[in-house]
């Protein structure tokens, strides 16, 4: 982790950073989709997030990062009773990945050397209680997408193959990134993401220069650069931890609920997932900013993240989804 660009040092891209922080506060938000141009720091931000996240407590040696010893699935043999701190898992799902690698499969080595059937956990197991990151998510093979959708929905990975029958929890925050010009994302997968962000290269020259300056000084001496931002990174981390605790106590008044519902009705989003996500995200933001209850202010900031990918696609309206949401926010919430 010594060569990861610090989260606090990322210039601009406030929406992207905010969306990622919100999932760290409330993992049930359902993931982030980051769509945008090349060279805008999408991957950098995900790596930085992994480095920023607080550690989790897990049973030592448990392949699915179980929090308590009795949560460890029965097929696991290597787990100890001890509890340890480990970094929040952020697992890369590479594009050309095989189904076996994702779900887990028979451990060939064990089978060969001991003549035993043993389950070798896959990426879904490793990502439990953490993040699953898919770069260029729109290029992912359909059958892997199906698999992910299924698991993301049920929170459980079921493996029925090669005479094995294994199940283990697989709750993770899905983070996808991609370039929309390379192909669209399947609507089913799009809907799975709680928040979505459009990132663009900064148009302000000063900001661009600053990005280059920081990147350069980071590449020159990663360690020194990280030291410079350690304090700020720690601050963000502490705020996440505090927000996690205050989240349950953060109140949502009827007024806020009404705002959310009105906004979604105005935009005509399908289903109720839009409202729920909007509310959750607003609450997480309120907790992060140290407010006791959700106000219009939070809804304002979060609405484009939570709703822009849920709009009905209107082929005749050329304006971006985010700007449509912003317009709606302005009309609905005065």
By the rule CB under 8 A, 28 interacts with other proteins: no
3-state secondary structure 1-60: CCCCCCHHHCCCCHHHHHHHHHHHHCHHHCCEEEEECCCCCHHHHHHHHHHHCCCEEEEC
Decide: is 184 part of the binding site for other proteins (CB under 8 A).
yes
CB-based contact 246:291 (threshold 8 Å) = no
310 is catalytic: no
Q: Does 276 bind other proteins (CB under 8 A)?
A: no
CB of 247 to other proteins, least distance (A): 35
Which residue from 4, 67, 71, 99 is in contact with other proteins, where contact means CB under 8 A?
A: 99
**Residue 101 binds other proteins, judged by CB under 8 A:** no
Could you say whether residue 180 binds other proteins (CB under 8 A)? yes
Is the distance from CB of 18 to CB of 288 less than 8 angstroms?
Answer: no
Q: Residue 214 and residue 271: Cα distance in Å, rounded? A: 43
Show Cβ contacts of residue 240 under 8 Å, excluding neighbours closer than 6 positions: 21, 24, 25, 52, 53, 54, 288
Cα 159 to Cα 255: distance, rounded to the nearest angstrom: 45
Span 211-240, contacts to other proteins by CB under 8 A: 211-213, 215-216, 219-220
**If binding is defined by CB under 8 A, does position 272 make contact with other proteins?**
no
Q: Which two tokens stand for residue 37?
A: 């141009």
Establish if 84 lies at the interface with other proteins (CB under 8 A): no
Contact status: 94 vs other proteins (CB under 8 A)? yes
- Using CB under 8 A as the binding rule, whether residue 268 contacts other proteins is answered as no
Cβ atoms of 174 and 30 within 8 Å: the answer is yes
Minimum separation from the CB atom of position 140 to other proteins (A)? 10
Applying CB under 8 A, which residues contact other proteins? 37-41, 94-96, 99, 105-106, 108-109, 111-113, 115-117, 135-136, 138-139, 143, 162, 179-184, 186-187, 201, 205-206, 208-209, 211-213, 215-216, 219-220, 313, 315-316, 318
């Amino acid at each position: 982790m010594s060569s990861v660009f610090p989260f606090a040092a990322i210039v601009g891209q406030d929406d992207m950073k905010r969306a990622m922080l919100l999932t760290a506060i409330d993992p049930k938000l359902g993931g982030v989709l980051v769509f945008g141009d090349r060279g805008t720091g999408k991957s950098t931000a995900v790596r930085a997030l992994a480095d920023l996240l607080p550690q989790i407590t897990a049973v030592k040696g448990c392949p699915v990062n179980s929090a308590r010893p009795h949560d460890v699935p029965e097929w696991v043999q290597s787990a100890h009773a001890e509890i340890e701190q480990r970094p929040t898992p952020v697992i890369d799902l590479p594009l050309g990945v095989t189904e076996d690698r994702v779900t887990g499969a028979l451990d060939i080595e064990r089978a060969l050397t001991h003549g035993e059937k043993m389950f070798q956990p896959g990426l879904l197991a490793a990502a439990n209680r953490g993040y699953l990151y898919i770069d260029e998510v729109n290029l992912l093979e359909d059958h892997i997408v199906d698999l992910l959708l299924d698991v993301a929905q049920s929170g459980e990975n079921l493996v029925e193959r090669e005479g094995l029958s294994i199940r283990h929890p697989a709750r993770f925050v899905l983070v996808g990134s991609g370039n929309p010009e390379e192909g669209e994302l399947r609507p089913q997968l799009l809907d799975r993401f709680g928040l979505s962000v459009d990132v663009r290269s900064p148009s302000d020259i000063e900001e661009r220069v600053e990005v280059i300056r920081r990147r350069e000084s980071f590449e020159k001496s990663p360690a020194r650069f990280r030291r410079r931002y350690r304090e700020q990174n720690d601050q963000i981390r502490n705020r996440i931890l505090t927000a996690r605790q205050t989240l349950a106590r953060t109140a949502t008044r009827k007024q806020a609920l009404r705002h959310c519902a009105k906004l979604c009705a105005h935009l005509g989003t399908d289903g109720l997932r839009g409202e729920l996500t909007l509310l959750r995200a607003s609450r997480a933001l309120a907790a992060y900013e140290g407010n006791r209850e959700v106000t219009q202010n939070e809804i304002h900031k979060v609405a484009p993240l939570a709703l822009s990918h849920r709009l009905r696609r209107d082929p005749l309206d050329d304006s971006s989804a985010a700007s449509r949401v912003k317009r709606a926010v302005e009309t609905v919430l005065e």
